[in-house]
Amino acid sequence: MSEKNILTVGGLTKIIKEILEESFPSFSLIGEISNFKSHYSGHWYFTLKDSDAQISCTMWKGYNNYVFFKPEDGMKVIITGKLTVYPPRGSYQIDIRSMKPAGEGELQAAFERLKRKLFEEGLFDEVYKKEIPSSPKKIGVVTSIDGAAFKDIISVAQRRYPLVELVIAPAKVQGAGAAESIVNSIKQLNLHKDIEVIIVGRGGGSIEDLWAFNEEIVARAIFNSKIPIISAVGHEVDFTISDFVADLRAATPTAAMELATPDVNDIYMTIESFIDNSFETLLEKIDFANESLVNVIDSYGFRQPLDNVRRKSQQIDNAVYRIENNLERRLIDYKSSLQLLTSKIDSHNIEKTLKKGFVLVTQQNKFVLRGEKFVAGDSFRLKFFDKEIEVN
Amino acid sequence: MKKKETKKTFNENLNRLEEISRKLEEDNLDLEIAIELYEEGVELSKICIELLKSAEVKITELKTKLNNVLEISDEDI
């Protein structure tokens, strides 16, 4: 072997690189992910393996952006890419351009794993569910600004509650970076303290289309939102992780909007019933007042003054009657006693006695009724019927 | 007067209307006060209905900052 045929390490590697890279410019491969690492730069590094072998893989940020789910160890995926050789380390690897789950079962398994994890952490607990206001002035909306979901939301607002202000934080709702975009919009809306409720959602689609709403970062952003969130991912049957963690779940964006707003017709009815009922109530009150007034006029208390007058006049009458009675009785009494006295006086009529011939003896102007009272020697008077004689 | 009323939000007006409605049901309410409340209620009803009829959904778009994840730079590819 001549010196000419001696290769350098670099030279050999260069040939290997050319052969390998030219032989495998683009291929698809099925394998199971292990040692998955998402570097802070955004690039992904992992190994694809099966029971027989393993091979290193890289997926640059510019490409992994378009993967709608987050790969995990143990997940079976189908990738497309090309083989590259990295001369400084003498290694070969797959430069991956696209990746999808090897079957729906893979996504379902990832979904179940995340659901269990978040459930165990308590992110679905009822105690964390915030109350949805009944008539919010401002509603935040996280969805695609061009999507049907937003059009539906606007039309419900116009029909049900035109007083509302919708604050849309546009978000990418499917494909690469959708989850990050939704998270970002939720955070942005949370900076506006006057937003009372947020609707996060999109119209219906395939499991891939909806996958952003099954991502952990979206679930955590919903959980951490200070403003109550209604999830509104258009699918009647299945739930997304977002539905479990949201404060309220709606099957569609339209339904979410209906849950977040009062119906203007109900408000009209409230106002109309106020006018009707209050007028009735007022009429009743006026009737009642009228009745009360009549009752007061008729009442015992109100009749008192007149009764008093009547009673007083009766009292006067009574008094007069009594006085009259009294006077009369007294008069009669006087008369009778007078008669009695008169007759007594009559019976003792001295004149009559004197007429019979008796004499009355007076000493010191007093009648001397007994001999022993007579004071001999003192002057006395003799009263006869016809005359009186002074005896000294 | 009119200016002062319109300053109140629709919800404040509606809440006040409901409050008036409740108060009017009270049995021992003075008739003068009841009439005043009723007049206020009718006025509020008019304001609310006008607000509702003239209302149009307001739409504000938040200019969200582009998330850095969305930036794709060629140097990485």
Q: What are the domain boundaries of chain B?
A: 2-54
Are residues B9 and A137 in contact, defined by beta-carbon separation less than 8 angstroms? Answer: yes
Give Dmax over CA atoms of chain B in angstroms. 82
Which residue in chain B has the smallest CA separation from A150? B59
Distance from CA of A123 to the nearest CA of B (A): 25
Residues 6 or more apart whose Cβ sits within 8 Å of residue A104: A207
With an 8 Å Cβ cutoff, is B61 touching chain A? yes
pLDDT tens digits for range B6-51: 468 888 888 888 888 888 888 788 888 888 888 888 888 888 888 8
Which one of B9, B14, B61 has the shortest CB-CB distance to A168? B61
Lookup result for tokens 């009062």: A262
Sheet strands side by side (includes A360-363):
A366-367, A360-363, A380-383, A388-391
Q: Are A71 and A31 in contact (CB under 8 A)?
A: no
> Residue A229's closest CA among A309, A305, A142?
A142
d(CA A117, CA A109): 12
pLDDT of residue B71 exceeding 60, the answer is no
A118: helix, coil or strand? Answer: helix
The predicted pLDDT at position A346 comes to 65
Task: Check: CB of residue A167 under 8 Å from CB of residue A154.
Answer: no
Return the pLDDT at B77.
Answer: 34
Q: How far is CA A101 from the centre of its chain?
A: 47
Cβ(A119)–Cβ(A113) under 8 Å? no
Contacts of B49 in chain A (CB under 8 A): 268, 271
pTM confidence score: 0.64
- Residue scoring higher pLDDT (A344 or A114): A114
Cβ contact, residue pair B60, A167, below 8 Å: yes
Burial of A157 (0-12, 13-18, 19+ CB in 10 A): buried
Q: What contacts A34, CB < 8 A, 6 or more positions away?
A: A46, A47, A48, A49, A54, A73, A74
Burial of A232 (0-12, 13-18, 19+ CB in 10 A): buried
Contacts of B48 in chain A (CB under 8 A): 267, 271
Q: How confident is the model at residue A169 (pLDDT cuts 50, 70, 90)?
A: very high
**The predicted structure's pLDDT at residue A220:** 94
More confident residue, A60 or A293: A60
- φ/ψ bin of A377: left (φ > 0), alpha (ψ from -120 to 50), beta (otherwise): left
Confidence of residue B1 (pLDDT cuts 50, 70, 90): very low
Three-class SS of residue A175?
Answer: coil
Q: Which amino acid is at A371?
A: G
Q: Nearest chain B residue to A192 by CA: give it.
A: B62
Determine, for residues B9 and A285 on separate chains, whether the beta-carbon distance falls below 8 Å. no
A107 token code pair: 């996504």
pLDDT at A192: 92
Residue A362: pLDDT band with limits 50, 70, 90? confident
Q: Rounded to whole angstroms, how far apart are CA atoms A136 and A131? A: 12
Q: Are A181 and A202 in contact (CB under 8 A)?
A: no
**Tens of pLDDT, residues A228-272:** 999 999 876 678 999 999 999 999 999 999 999 999 998 888 888
| CB distance A385 to A357 below 8 Å | yes
Between CA B44 and CA B9 the distance in angstroms is 11
Instruction: Say whether pLDDT at A160 is over 80.
Output: yes
Total residue length of chain A? 392
Cα–Cα distance measured from residue A338 to residue A124, given in angstroms and rounded to the nearest whole number = 120
* pLDDT above 70: percentage of residues in chain A: 97
Place of tokens 């009263």: A383
Q: Which CATH code for domain A123-262?
A: 3.40.50.10550
Domain spanning A8-102, CATH architecture: Beta Barrel (2.40)
Record: contact B76-A61, CB cut-off 8 A: yes
- How many cross-chain Cβ pairs, A to B, lie less than 8 Å apart? 122
Residues of chain B with C-beta less than 8 angstroms from the C-beta of A62: 72-74, 76-77
Average pLDDT over residues A97-112: 85
**Out of B11, B24, B49, whose CB is closest to A281?**
B24
Say if residue A222's pLDDT is above 60.
Answer: yes
Residue A153's pLDDT is 95
Residue of B14, B17, A276, B46 whose CA lies nearest to A284: A276
Q: Please give the share of chain A, as a percent, with pLDDT higher than 90.
A: 47
With CA atoms as reference, report the closest residue to B70 among A79, A64, A146.
Answer: A64
Q: Which residue has the tokens 């029971």?
A: A51
Sign of the four-CA dihedral A63, A69, A72, A77? negative
- For testing contact with chain B, the best of A137, A194, A278 (most B CBs within 10 A): A278
Average pLDDT over residues A33-60: 94
How far apart CA A41 and CA A60 sit, in angstroms, is: 9
